[in-house]
Chain A
Amino acid sequence: MTSGTPGIQPPPPPGLRRRVSRWWRSRDALSRLHRWLLLRALPLLVVFLGLYVLNGALIGWTGAYNVLVGIDSPGDVSPRLPAWLLSIAGWAAIPALVGGAVGYGVTAQIQAHRTRELTEILEELRRRSTASAGPDGG
């Protein structure tokens, strides 16, 4: 017991539960797009892959691919219900989500143009112009 500090034990290393909660509560540190990709897109991708594997096991990989991209009708294969879900994922859900995410990224790139005020740019130019013409180290 050293004087001046409360006599408690040093903190124990966090257990599994606290480490998981620490990871979960750090999720908002991610940027908007990365947060969405991790928490929304990744689970949906897992569901989609599960659907594809299920159909591959039931009707074969070529059949599952053909249903996915719309070459074959889900009504022509058996069993029909998982094929219909895969078909809808292929032409509705996946294109919409990919398009939305890419559209967001493109919007961010477009909006990165012309973010500085004119006075800010002029002030930088003025600083460069009036800086002493001696060695400036680049």
Chain B
Amino acid sequence: MSVRSLSEIHECGGTAAEFVQHFAAKWHDGDWETAEDHWQLIVNRLLRGREMEGLKRRDALRTAEQAAQNFGLPLLLSASDTRCPMCAIVPPPRSSLSPPPSPPAPRRPGTEPS
């Protein structure tokens, strides 16, 4: 009994499948490995909520998974610029460091010594 994988969540269909697809596509550029990793991390954070103490293991897992989807889907569907909270918290793995996702801020023209 552990956190359900994204594929298991996806099999539920409906908004769950919608969440999984957007979670991987919009927040992780289709990188399922990172998406799965960050999905588990988010659920793990929510499992540490005080409300989880009274619940059985299975109920706590399902509650946290549902809370994660209820949290993520509106952000994923919103027009504003959002990103995976775990991408902001966890540094990216070493293997994906070679192509930096966003280049460093360019130096302002005229400030570099010539």
Where the two chains meet, the residues of A that have a C-beta atom closer than 8 Å to any C-beta of B are 113-118, 120-122, 124-126, 128-136
Residue-wise interface mask of B (68-106) relative to A, using a CB-CB cutoff of 8 A (1 in contact, 0 not)? 000100010000111111101100000000000010110
B42: chain A residues within 8 A (beta carbon): 125
Contact A121 B49 (CB under 8 A): yes
The 6 closest A-B pairs by CB, nearest first: A118-B49, A128-B85, A125-B85, A128-B88, A129-B85, A129-B82
Contact A125 B45 (CB under 8 A): yes
Interface size on B, residues (CB 8 A): 24
Q: Given the complex of chains A and B, what is the CA–CA distance between A121 and B68 in angstroms? A: 11
Verify if B11 is at the interface (C-beta below 8 Å from A): no
Contact B50 A132 (CB under 8 A): no
A117: chain B residues within 8 A (beta carbon): 49-51
Residue-wise interface mask of B (33-68) relative to A, using a CB-CB cutoff of 8 A (1 in contact, 0 not)? 000000000100110111111000000000000010
Of the residues A115, A120, A122, A134, contact of B67 by C-beta under 8 Å: A122
A121: chain B residues within 8 A (beta carbon): 45-46, 48-49
Contact B81 A133 (CB under 8 A): yes
Where the two chains meet, the residues of B that have a C-beta atom closer than 8 Å to any C-beta of A are 42, 45-46, 48-53, 67, 71, 75, 80-86, 88-89, 102, 104-105
B53: chain A residues within 8 A (beta carbon): 114
Of the residues A115, A118, A126, contact of B85 by C-beta under 8 Å: A126
Q: Name 25 interchain pairs, CB-CB below 8 A, sorted by A.
A: A113-B48, A114-B48, A117-B49, A117-B50, A117-B51, A118-B51, A120-B49, A121-B48, A122-B46, A122-B71, A125-B42, A125-B85, A126-B71, A126-B75, A126-B85, A128-B85, A128-B86, A128-B89, A129-B75, A130-B75, A130-B82, A131-B88, A135-B104, A135-B105, A136-B88
